[in-house]
Amino acid sequence: MKEQVSKGRRPQPLQGPTSRTPARWIVAAVLAFFLVVLVAMVVFNRYVFIAKGMIVPVLLLAAVLLGRFKGFVNDWAVFLGAVVFFDFCRGLVFALTSHFELPMYLGYVIAWERWLCGGTVAPVALQQLRAGLADPRWLDRFLLLIYSSHYVGFLVFGLAIWQLRRHAFRTYTMALLAVMYGGLVFYLLVPTIPPWAAASEFLTLPPMVHIVRSFYNVHVPALLAAFDINPIAAMPSLHAALPAICALLALRYLGRIGLLVLAYALSVCIAVIYLGEHYLADTIAGWLLALAVYAGVLRWGAAPDNPAPGVVSSVPDQWALGSIRVALLFVAATAACGQLSAPWVAGPLPITRAFVGRELMGRSPLGHYYLGRIALAEGAVPEARRELTVALDELPDPAVQGYIRGLLASSASPSRVVAEGYAGTAQ
């Protein structure tokens, strides 16, 4: 049934069933709540893990206050189901890479980084600046929260789009999912080691402080496991890509508010580089992915930025059962696939002979060390002794030398040799 418009009364823009001012205040309250939480964690040095799953009840509460609970379920169900499945797939990609010893890469991105930065590496340069600070802890805390907020920021932004520009919400969901799953394809095809691992595990970069690991081990140990779902997913940076696509959509649909989202997106890029989680090249790749997706949705059906005035329809009386079924299928697929792939999860990095020859020899003093440990795991003791003897001359660290001498003096457990990394050996 068509809605009736009173004669002489100007139709309202497509915003939602409630009036414009309450909607804006409710969305602003949600944004302010998360801002206050972040600021409080920095000031009082007390931290909690805010997972994406913890955001959904807040979004549901906002929908109830707006009088749009049924509309929220109908509009959001498939999107949230696909996000849950993406999180599983991100971990599955690493499990597959580890279990089947698929190639992983390190050198190409460092070469790109040096080309982009005139011979230097951006994370190394920022950490050198950090080393010159009298007390970097406040900066560490602030940038850590910027870094971790990315995991929930795009959902809070989605609430703003859904309430203030509902006609654009479908464009938002299409764009966000395209960025997520597009990044997933790259993670499977080109698993790339992040800067902190290149420095600490493989010594292909100068020493770096892995701020995220040291911080979460102290404050929120469970958070480290949540963020380590795929430790070789550096290229492209979804930390950069997700805020970037949100910024592009905000500039299109929210006007000047988009400038704030853009500033936030750029701050995330600075944070991930400073923390050693991504190279500048990774963040540029993330922005390029976001721009490609944005161009695609503009070409293939993006909502108009200024829709023609119309009458607001009420909250639908019927549940969108098709959307709910699809969302439940995503959740069921996540649970089922998780059970099937559980034996492969949390495996070691696939450090193979091919990886050592391609990525470490000539770039790192650990080349012969890893070849020796691989030979030990294979039972090739003469080759192992030869490679580890060479490694003794290349690795001056007394702790590492003591460990190598122990390997030379006695047989090592193959499973231990494969599972331990260089950083663990040095402890």
Helices 257-274/238-253 angle, 10° precision: 170
Cα separation of 330 and 86, whole Å? 9
pLDDT of amino acid 114: 94
Query: Over 70: is that where the pLDDT of 81 sits?
Result: yes
Distance of CA 260 to the CA centre of its chain: 21
Q: What is the phi-psi region of residue 119: left when phi exceeds 0, alpha when psi lies from -120 to 50, beta otherwise?
A: left
Query: Which residue, among 90, 59, 91, 87, has the nearest Cα to 73 in the 3D structure?
Result: 59
Greater model confidence, 16 or 195? 195
Residue 235 sits at the vertex; the CA angle it makes with 155 and 169, to the nearest 5 degrees, is: 25
Greater model confidence, 334 or 245? 245
Mean pLDDT of 382-388: 82
* CA dist list (Å): 365 to 362, 370, 394, 396: 8, 10, 6, 10
DSSP 171-231: HHHHHHHHHHHHHHHHHHHS-B--HHHHHHTT-SS-----HHHHHHHHH-HHHHHHHTS-T
Neighbours of 152 (CB within 10 A): 18
Of 52-56, 210-214, 271-275, the range with the highest mean pLDDT is 271-275
Query: Over 80: is that where the pLDDT of 102 sits?
Result: yes
* CA dist list (Å): 36 to 29, 243, 409: 10, 20, 58
Query: How many residues would you count in the chain?
Result: 427
Cα separation of 411 and 286, whole Å? 46
- Percent helix / strand / coil, the chain, rounded to 5: 70, 0, 30
pLDDT of amino acid 75: 82
Query: Which residue, among 415, 418, 423, has the nearest Cα to 397 in the 3D structure?
Result: 423
Burial label, 382 (beta-carbon count in 10 A; 0-12, 13-18, 19+): exposed
pLDDT of amino acid 262: 92
Of 22-36, 48-62, 88-102, 217-231, the range with the highest mean pLDDT is 88-102
Greater model confidence, 216 or 279? 279
Query: Over 90: is that where the pLDDT of 379 sits?
Result: no
* CA dist list (Å): 216 to 113, 114, 220, 349, 425: 27, 30, 5, 21, 21
Reported as a single tens digit per residue, the pLDDT across 176-197 is 999 999 999 999 899 999 999 8
> Could you tell me the pLDDT band of residue 419, with boundaries at 50, 70 and 90?
very low
Mean pLDDT of 387-409: 78
Looking at the DSSP assignment, which residues form a beta bridge with residue 192? Answer: 105, 233
> Could you tell me the pLDDT band of residue 209, with boundaries at 50, 70 and 90?
confident
- % pLDDT > 70, the chain: 68
pLDDT of amino acid 423: 52
Q: Where do runs of H (alpha helix) occur along 100-134?
A: 107-116, 122-131
**Residue with tokens 């949230």, as numbered in its chain:** 80
Cα separation of 291 and 174, whole Å? 14
Residue 369 sits at the vertex; the CA angle it makes with 364 and 372, to the nearest 5 degrees, is: 140
Query: Over 80: is that where the pLDDT of 64 sits?
Result: no
Contacts of residue 396, Cβ cutoff 8 Å, sequence gap at least 6: none
Do the Cβ atoms of 209 and 117 come closer than 8 Å? no
Cα separation of 427 and 423, whole Å? 7
pLDDT of amino acid 5: 43
Query: Over 60: is that where the pLDDT of 304 sits?
Result: yes
pLDDT of amino acid 31: 57
**Residue with tokens 């938002």, as numbered in its chain:** 172
Reported as a single tens digit per residue, the pLDDT across 348-375 is 778 888 888 898 888 888 888 888 888 8
Query: Over 90: is that where the pLDDT of 34 sits?
Result: no
Greater model confidence, 368 or 404? 368
Query: Over 80: is that where the pLDDT of 127 sits?
Result: yes
Q: Name the residue ranges covered by the structural domains of the chain.
A: 20-344, 365-425
Alpha-carbon radius of gyration of the chain: 25
pLDDT of amino acid 48: 47
Reported as a single tens digit per residue, the pLDDT across 213-239 is 766 544 444 444 444 567 788 899 999
Helices 367-378/381-394 angle, 10° precision: 160
pLDDT of amino acid 7: 46
Query: Which residue, among 287, 286, 274, 281, has the nearest Cα to 143 in the 3D structure?
Result: 274
Query: Which residue, among 89, 424, 79, has the nearest Cα to 233 in the 3D structure?
Result: 89
> Could you tell me the pLDDT band of residue 29, with boundaries at 50, 70 and 90?
low
Mean pLDDT of the chain: 76
